[in-house]
A and B are shown apart, each in its own frame.
Chain A
Amino acid sequence: MANLELLEKLCNASGVSGNDDEVKDIIINEIRNYCDRLYIDRVGNLIGLKKGRKVSKNRIMICAHTDEVGLMITGILKDGTLTFEAVGGIDCRVLSAKRVMIGKIPGIICSKPIHCKTAEERKIPVPTKNLVIDIGTESRKETQELVKIGDTATFRSEFIRLGENKIKAKALDDRLGCYIMCNILKKDLEYDTYFAFTQCEEVGCRGAVSAAMSIKPDIGIVLETTTAADIYGVSGDRTVCEQNGGAVVSIIDGSTIYDRTLYKVAVECAKKNNIKIQTKKYVSGGNDARSLQRTAGGAKVTAISLPCRYLHTPSCVGDMRDAEQMEKLCFKLIQEYGDLDI
């Protein structure tokens, strides 16, 4: 497997939407020497330009988002515990008894012991508003010294290998996209390309709007993760896509109908270069492509995604064989899309 150290660092970094400097710092460190221009825009997108051998008449922008779903502290109770809200879409069932990190302070999401739950309570999930984080303090005053309302918290989840090819981590959505962009940036490219590490995708694909406005791309490639529900007992279109089935090239999702020309070119390019790809079998989800496609004068867009199990939980599972296919396809498409006459 490729340079997993970087991916591990990226996944373990804390970067809840609106508070992701730690992630950006890792990326800046990694790519600083490979960019011809590198800047952080006014809303916090990290944007790099890498010159290629040629300038294409199609301005190409690749993007992946740096933020992740997480928690935001909303209050401090008398006993020192913290109330919180989810930032982005988190199923309340994945929260009970999980370990979190509020900046540098470790905490635990409390879970009422099964012994104290009634038979009825054992059948329904505890809603987010009834959960609290315990950091070991005993009074509001004590907690106030350490945590402020508005602080963000991320899951603490070990980055581990599952079997030969898979990895499990938090925030694969979308540190995996950031990781692939870093890898591509380090290569020699055919055409000038913009790389945007965008903000706040999880709360409405917001950063990509400003990034698109300033770059004004003709063609956008979004590197993302998408739901793979290829678990035992699920079949047909309900699986959405399958792990080790290759990079997912989208035709349509919940918020974007992708450009047909770009799609065809991507399929042919994959065929020519022996790259494994698949399409989504189920219309769901959405990503930064919707912002790129419909900002300023608009752009043609493609999304290349990793089939990822258990998105938006502390335990996302991805297959690195698919990630390799994504990287290869994206790299080749810079040339193919640059050559296009549109």
Chain B
Amino acid sequence: MNIEKSLRLIAGTPSVSGYEYLLHEGIFSLCKGVFDSVVSLKDNSVLAVKKCGRENAPKILLNAHIDQIGMYVTAVHEGGFLSVVNIGGIDTNILYASQVTVYGKKTIKGVFVSTPPHLSGDRDAKLEKISDFLIDTGLTEEELKDIVETGTPVVLDGALDLLQNNMISSGSMDDRICMIAIIKAVSMIPPAEQKYDIYALFSSQEEVTSLGASTGVYEIEPDMALVVDVGHANMKGIDKIGSLKYKKGPAVSFSATTSRKLSEAICRCAEVNNIPYQRVSEANNTGTDAHNIQIALEGIPATVLSLPLRNMHTPCEIISLEDCDNMAALISAFVADGTYRGEEVCIVGKS
């Protein structure tokens, strides 16, 4: 399975939180032949299952989210302009003069207004709020009203670029790249080696409420969970400490809110199989679906594997293909290893 090709296959399809179903067809075709069954859930998540055929095999949840940050239309104005609200965290510094696609009854293009100098006062002093921004569509108000309504999704355009050293830049790599890594990992496991029943949950709305992961866990009732998400790669302006390094493999999370035993088991597995990995400490909230998964049901051992990525939440997110391959290798090795069996309720007194 070629990661770049898989990315390109779904690159043009939007999946702003709440509209993930638009991506389902693409996901189904990526999953083809890899899983026993693939279904859409009512919250717009996709659940793909591959059983190992062993009795009493633990269930492992492999989770990546399929929603992307974006915007919803909030108003249509005279002259063919749109107001929008952000869905997920968007830095307004990246909006000026950016190209967007508006997925209304028809798909149309637009650009964010960049206030001309004679109107914008002291330009270095202040960024506008997203509600002060406008999108110029080149259409008339009437034409526009036929195409969009309150809630129509809008996405920042970002083409897929191959940079030096097999680095790739594209929009919404957060977290599609990790979904692809999971599918690749599952496709790599020889059937005889698989030790867990695999439940791959490609979840909805991580960027806003973690809806898909929160409800999906109740659907699956897993014994352990690996949340695969992107993490900040080291770059100018952000702290070296705590950020990830490219090409050093996936990062295993150590946090008060992730399972230490599970994390250690993954590190061990990486070492045994000679797969590069890095440790990352996130003292409190990991900011991923793992946060909710860990305390769902009666508690689930959960941890996070992060893929280094720069420029998160912009249309130019950058990842290393080498890291993706290592991520897939590690997940697949862990599922084949099977030593970790989850946690049991441990009776320490009279029962």
In the complex, A touching B, CB below 8 Å?
yes
- Interface of A with B (CB < 8 Å)? 77, 79, 81, 89, 91-94, 96-99, 105-117, 122-127, 130, 132, 134-138, 142, 146, 156-158, 160-166, 168, 227, 229-234, 238, 240, 282, 284, 309-311, 313-315, 317
- B99, B120, B143 pick with most chain A CB within 10 angstroms: B99
B163 touches A227 (CB 8 A): no
Q: Would you call the interface of chain A mostly helix, strand, loop, or mixed? A: loop
Q: Which 4 pairs of residues, A with B, have the shortest CB-CB distance?
A: A162-B138, A136-B163, A313-B97, A163-B138
- Near A by CB (< 8 A), chain B positions 120-149 give 120, 123-127, 134, 136-140, 143
For A89, what are the chain B residues with a Cβ–Cβ distance below 8 Å?
Answer: 117
Q: How far is the CA of A292 from the CA of B335 in the complex (A)?
A: 74
- Near A by CB (< 8 A), chain B positions 271-322 give 287, 310-316, 318
Q: 18 A-B Cβ contacts within 8 A? A: A77-B236, A81-B235, A94-B97, A110-B310, A111-B91, A111-B316, A114-B89, A125-B123, A125-B126, A125-B127, A135-B164, A161-B138, A227-B117, A229-B118, A234-B119, A238-B119, A284-B118, A313-B97
Shortest distance in angstroms between A218's beta carbon and chain B's nearest beta carbon?
Answer: 33
Q: How far is the CA of A282 from the CA of B125 in the complex (A)?
A: 24
A114 touches B90 (CB 8 A): yes
Q: Would you call the interface of chain B mostly helix, strand, loop, or mixed? A: loop
**Which one of A81, A96, A115 lies within 8 Å of B94 (CB-CB)?**
A96
For B93, what are the chain A residues with a Cβ–Cβ distance below 8 Å?
Answer: 93, 96-97, 111, 125-126
Stretch of B77-85, B196-204, B261-269 that contacts chain A:
B77-85
Q: How far is the CA of A130 from the CA of B287 in the complex (A)?
A: 27
With A116-B237, A136-B318, A162-B136 as contacts: A94 and B96 at CB distance below 8 Å: yes
B161 touches A106 (CB 8 A): yes
- Interface of B with A (CB < 8 Å)? 77-81, 89-94, 96-99, 108-114, 116-120, 123-127, 134, 136-140, 143, 157-159, 161-167, 169, 232, 234-239, 246-247, 287, 310-316, 318
A314 touches B314 (CB 8 A): no
For B138, what are the chain A residues with a Cβ–Cβ distance below 8 Å?
Answer: 161-166, 168, 317
B127 touches A310 (CB 8 A): no
In the complex, which residue of chain A has the Cβ closest to the Cβ of B236? A132
In the complex, which residue of chain A has the Cβ closest to the Cβ of B167? A136
For A310, what are the chain B residues with a Cβ–Cβ distance below 8 Å?
Answer: 97, 111, 113-114, 116, 136
